[in-house]
Amino acid sequence: MPLPLYQIDAFTTKPLAGNPAAVCWLEQSCEDSWLQAVAAEMNLSETAFLWQEESRFRLRWFTPKVEVDLCGHATLAAAHFLWEIGRATAGATIDFNTRSGVLTAAQKEDRIELDFPIDEIELGDPPTGLIAALGCKPIATGRNRRDVLVEVASEAELRSVAPDFRRLAEIRARGVIVTCRGDGEKYEFLSRFFAPACGIDEDPVTGSAHCALVTYWAPKWKKETLRAFQCSRRGGELEVTLNGDRAKLRGAAVTVLRGELDASS
């Protein structure tokens, strides 16, 4: 039986921007090796797999190389997919069972709001070799359980970062967040995200990284809700609110491809 397989651009209001994710509907769980092979075939930063699990949906995320514990843009894409195909009722909150606990998605006017756990940044010295691999001059560094964070002085410096991805892949972290302060008129902060160890040299828009970034920038701006832009080549916008030990991520999504996957492959 063919399986619905969509490609959805997340954290954007227009197609061919934001971060593309593949979303595949399953009738039941499948072998991990098959899920990983499909994700490698899609060759996107994430492929999301969904199936019904009692009153919730089971959601798993795979890069072309590995399964990950948390992914923002593919969760946004998965929620958009469920509402579009009618598996979820319009206006109803969607509950996902994931490796990061229960995550929710809700429709907020023309945006989708995700409820994620925060991942606080602790300031400290950078890992050996990180700054040489990035080729930039940090004004602050830190890390959390998953990622390393580097703050640079300006948007121009952020955009000019050109990592040595082979050396960056040797850093013991899921990925490296490079960020700078925004002007406060359009965005409070900007960022880029590099994860060559996971098979993604540069991720276009990384929702899960903003669960760390909001804890870093909210105290500096003395605001709970911040506007953010990830200035990759494709670019993507989101709004994030620090709400206790949770982060509310808001963004839009656009379907760009609808198809079927041969389940016998």
- Name the residue type at position 243: N
Terminal CA-to-CA distance of the chain, rounded, Å? 11
Distance (Å) of CA 126 to CA 60, 140, 163, 179, 236:
31, 9, 15, 14, 27
Which tokens sit at 259?
């198809």
| C-beta of residue 231 within 8 angstroms of C-beta of residue 158 | yes
Catalytic entry in 46, 113, 151, 202:
46
- Residues 6 or more apart whose CB falls under 8 angstroms from that of 228 comprise 182, 187, 188, 189, 190, 191, 210, 213, 237, 238, 239, 240
Helices 207-221/72-85 angle, 10° precision: 120
Query: Is 46 marked active-site?
Result: yes
Q: What distance lies between CA 169 and its chain's CA centroid?
A: 19
| C-beta of residue 189 within 8 angstroms of C-beta of residue 182 | yes
| C-beta of residue 148 within 8 angstroms of C-beta of residue 158 | no
The residues carrying an active-site annotation are 46
